[in-house]
Amino acid sequence: MDYRFSGNVERLQSSAVRDILKLTQGKEIISFAGGLPAEELFPLEAVHEAVDRVFAAGKGALQYGLTEGYLPLREQLCARMAQKGMTVEPDQMIMTTGSQQAIDLIVRVLLEPGDVVLVENPTYLASLQVFSLSGLRVVPVESDHDGMIISEAERLVREHKPRLVYVVPTFGNPTGRTWSLERRKGLLDICSRWGVPILEDDPYGDIKFDAGATYPTLFSLAGSADGGGVLYTSTFSKTVAPALRTGWAIGDRKVIRMMAKAKQAADLHSSTLDQQTLDQLLRHFSLDVHIRKIGDAYGERMRQMQALLRQQGWEDVKWVQPEGGMFLWLELPEALDAEALLRCAVSKGVAFVPGASFFAAQPQRNTARLNFTYTHGERMALGISRFAEAIGEFTARR
């Protein structure tokens, strides 16, 4: 049969990151491409013990669950959210298949095809895919290392009347940037005045390198029990393990109810084996101690990668040191196309993500995202030397 496809899916680009992941699977390639957490830090034993406790609870544990998610887990998560200044009740929370699904559900309940969403520039690739799949118009807002330029955001809000602003204000992907307090408040102010909901995507907020630093979420700054127009999403993928595919969203009760209606249709509910496991994990394992361990290890890896890059003595490769998260964002020599560089790098046995796909429009082609959490130690050194070789070949050609 000659299948016809919907326009939105025809136009949808497959994720460059996941395609590279697929390309490199099983091959001897050192990958700085995926946003993969460090496997050796997974709390395998603790998760296994948690699963055992779920099975000890009996056969009911394997039955269908609520669309909104496993209530005891939501209750525990509400307590964790409160510690971050986000005081919500379980009926303001929905469990999702990773925070990725939260983005998709929010878009499906709040936006119509053709609606405008404002994003940072560059921004999280897979959010751009959601927006594209739903036929939205994506308008990027000029951004620097402190976040969106607020005057620009306001100008574009006036001009485009967006139905959503999507941001990753803490240790963003791909840039690793952290919004200043002033910019956070500035965006809240604009969105509150113009009645535009904000989707605050916070998968990395816990992964900070300075244990004492605090990064208030937009949701907490809004200072309203219902989020004051902010919908917040996060995930266990970076703090526990991605395989469990468990994220959540919090916000206004009505939005959460609508998301639950949409989720009934989308997949009924997410894995309750995973949710019950996480519930048990939170009861018997100090996740905060574990998160500190991850933050420290990743901080060290970030510094290692920076040191390795500095050793190359490049004058025209630039980056800003991130305060947390999983990525270094490189600006390469101006004439260098990172997609061409990638092909050369893969032939030398190293992968990264060319920056272009993170831009909603007018991509800056001389940019690259390097993950520093997955590959470490000598392998990281070998990977960076291969990467440097590839860059050397390109700059020599000019």
Q: Which of 77, 88, 95, 241 binds its own copies (CB under 8 A)?
A: 241
Beta bridge partners of 370: 328
Q: Which two tokens stand for residue 72?
A: 């005891």
In the region spanning residues 188 to 227, those forming contacts with its own copies, defined by CB under 8 A, are 192, 195, 197, 226
- To the nearest whole angstrom, how small is the minimum distance from the Cβ of residue 305 to its own copies? 20
- If one asks whether residue 381 binds its own copies (CB under 8 A), the answer comes out as no
Q: Which of 24, 31, 92, 101 binds its own copies (CB under 8 A)?
A: 101
Question: Helix, strand or coil for residue 24?
Answer: helix
Q: Which two tokens stand for residue 169?
A: 């204000």
Q: Which of 23, 133, 149, 381 binds its own copies (CB under 8 A)?
A: 133
Please tell me the count of residues contacting its own copies according to CB under 8 A: 88
Binding region for its own copies (CB under 8 A) out of 76-84, 235-243, 298-306, 358-366: 235-243
Q: Which two tokens stand for residue 120?
A: 């940072």
Question: 92 or 366: whose CB is closer to its own copies?
Answer: 92
- If one asks whether residue 83 binds its own copies (CB under 8 A), the answer comes out as no
- If one asks whether residue 120 binds its own copies (CB under 8 A), the answer comes out as no
Give the closest residue to 357 by CA, choosing from 151, 11, 126. Answer: 126
In the region spanning residues 326 to 365, those forming contacts with its own copies, defined by CB under 8 A, are none
Q: Which of 24, 76, 92, 96 binds its own copies (CB under 8 A)?
A: 96
Name 86's Cβ contacts closer than 8 Å, sequence gap at least 6: 217, 219, 220, 227, 232, 250
Name 224's Cβ contacts closer than 8 Å, sequence gap at least 6: none
Following DSSP, what letter does each residue of 114-154 receive, concatenated? T-EEEEESS--HHHHHHHHHTTPEEEEE-EETTEE-HHHHH
Query: Rounded to the nearest 10 degrees, how much is the dihedral formed by the CA atoms of 135, 68, 264, 7?
Result: 10
Q: Which of 73, 94, 111, 390 binds its own copies (CB under 8 A)?
A: 111
103 vs 330: CA distance, rounded Å: 27
In the region spanning residues 253 to 292, those forming contacts with its own copies, defined by CB under 8 A, are 254-255, 258, 260-262, 264-274, 276-277
The 26-65 contact track toward its own copies, x by CB under 8 A, reads --------x-xx-xx-x-x--xx--xx--x--xxxxxxxx
- 């496991």: which residue's tokens? 277
- To the nearest whole angstrom, how small is the minimum distance from the Cβ of residue 233 to its own copies? 12
- To the nearest whole angstrom, how small is the minimum distance from the Cβ of residue 213 to its own copies? 27
- If one asks whether residue 15 binds its own copies (CB under 8 A), the answer comes out as yes
Following DSSP, what letter does each residue of 324-361 receive, concatenated? BSSEEEEEPPTT--HHHHHHHHHHHTEE-EEGGGG-SS
131 vs 126: CA distance, rounded Å: 9
- To the nearest whole angstrom, how small is the minimum distance from the Cβ of residue 101 to its own copies? 4
- If one asks whether residue 244 binds its own copies (CB under 8 A), the answer comes out as yes
- If one asks whether residue 21 binds its own copies (CB under 8 A), the answer comes out as yes
Pairing assessment for the beta strands 327-331 and 367-371 based on DSSP bridges: antiparallel
Question: 254 or 318: whose CB is closer to its own copies?
Answer: 254
- To the nearest whole angstrom, how small is the minimum distance from the Cβ of residue 186 to its own copies? 17
Following DSSP, what letter does each residue of 248-278 receive, concatenated? EEE--HHHHHHHHHHHHHHHSS--HHHHHHH
In the region spanning residues 159 to 178, those forming contacts with its own copies, defined by CB under 8 A, are 163
* Sign (positive or negative) of CA dihedral 388, 390, 391, 393: positive
- To the nearest whole angstrom, how small is the minimum distance from the Cβ of residue 353 to its own copies? 14
- To the nearest whole angstrom, how small is the minimum distance from the Cβ of residue 272 to its own copies? 4
- To the nearest whole angstrom, how small is the minimum distance from the Cβ of residue 221 to its own copies? 15
